[in-house]
Amino acid sequence: MSSIEEKFLEIFGEEPDLIAAAPGRVNLIGEHIDYSEGFVLPFAIKDRTTAAIRKRDDSVVRIASAQRRSKIVTVDINNVKPGLKGEWERYALAVLWSMGVKTGVDLLIDGHVPLGAGLSSSAALECSVATAVNHLFDMGFSLEDLARLTQKAENQYVGVPCGIMDQSVSLMATIGSALLLDCRDLSTRNIPFDVASSGLELLIIDTQAHHALTDGGYAERRASCESVAAKLGIKSMRELTMPALESAKDQLTQVEFIRARHAVTEMKRVLDCVEALSEANFEKVGELINQSHISLRDDYTVSCPELDTAVSASLAAGALGSRMVGGGFGGSAIALIDAAKTSETIKAIEKAFADKKFKAPRFFTSLPSQGAEVIFRK
């Protein structure tokens, strides 16, 4: 019996019917453009969230966390709807709501994606639950369906107006590849992402400056892009070019212009990065990563001192490229580095943080890993 099965039995007094797992993610490039129908290039990390579930014969939903075993949240499935108060369990309840679950379940969540690090711990939770529910009730939803349903859960129930990237890669990722995702139609292409054979490593730097995306900062930026699209009579930033944006500058506020400039240039950087990866041109990949950070810092203004320090210290230590990842306002950065200089790079970043009296960062690495899957069925 696995650890989560034992915990489930201990908490609920019965064994689970099914267990599913879904990973967090790192986005190599393509930040804050998934909600503008852009292209993104994320990959799944090895850290995962696991959901163990059992079908009940009544309407009671009980949810527990392996990390907080003393607390069991109990609610009637008929009362699960947007506006229901709660904490972390809202993400799980949101999925039950968006998928139309009508019967009670016991649900245990075991999360191992670092919280608040910009690595999509929320999407990992949502996608592990969605995968478990889809198979437990034989709903037959496709991965694309599940991506849209989990996005709906976070948008309409939790209240975070996220795009669809995080859920899509958590569900669809494959080992050894980044996932080129077209956020307009959810079509995907696996892009081999093998830095190790070139003697490189992708270092993930958790600044431990933790963000909360429900504070309005994320929503304001999405609203800016939607305002630009409305003013210019287009559906999304995907239809905009830099010449068209420049010619329409007088119709926009300065903030709208720079937000749109980030979206347009970032979409191009993603496609340029795919081309560079196809040629194993990691110097070019590094340049594009650097340009992405500058755009996020200056045009989208979602960086913070800790992220900027992680990036500048990485580059000073010889990284080919470094940038913030995730929603911003804290969280993590990545650095494409010489694998032989990992220890040296980490020490340089630690010193830079100590010099500024920031909380000590955490470091880890991950190769592109597998997306969501069922790992046990009774």
Give the mean pLDDT of 314-329: 94
> Is 166 tagged catalytic?
yes
Distances (CA, A) of 99 to 54, 75, 244: 16, 17, 40
Task: For residues 66 and 316, give the distance between their C-alpha atoms in angstroms, rounded to a whole number.
Answer: 40
Q: Is 1 exposed, middle or buried (0-12, 13-18, 19+ CB in 10 A)?
A: exposed
Task: For residues 315 and 348, give the distance between their C-alpha atoms in angstroms, rounded to a whole number.
Answer: 10
Phi, psi of 191 (to 5 degrees): -115, 110
β strands within 16-91, DSSP E: 18-29, 39-55, 60-65, 68-76
pLDDT band at 305 (very low <50, low <70, confident <90, very high): very high
Task: For residues 101 and 53, give the distance between their C-alpha atoms in angstroms, rounded to a whole number.
Answer: 13
Give the mean pLDDT of 150-158: 96
Q: Among 17, 34, 106, 166, which one carries the catalytic annotation?
A: 166
On the question of pLDDT at 343 being above 60, the answer is yes
Domains of the chain: 3-190+369-377 (3.30.230.10), 194-365 (3.30.70.890)
The per-residue pLDDT for range 59-96, each reduced to its tens digit, is: 999 999 999 877 899 999 999 999 888 899 999 999 99
pTM of the model: 0.88
Contact 182, 39 (CB under 8 A): yes
Distances (CA, A) of 16 to 60, 194, 208, 374: 16, 37, 34, 13
On the question of pLDDT at 212 being above 70, the answer is no
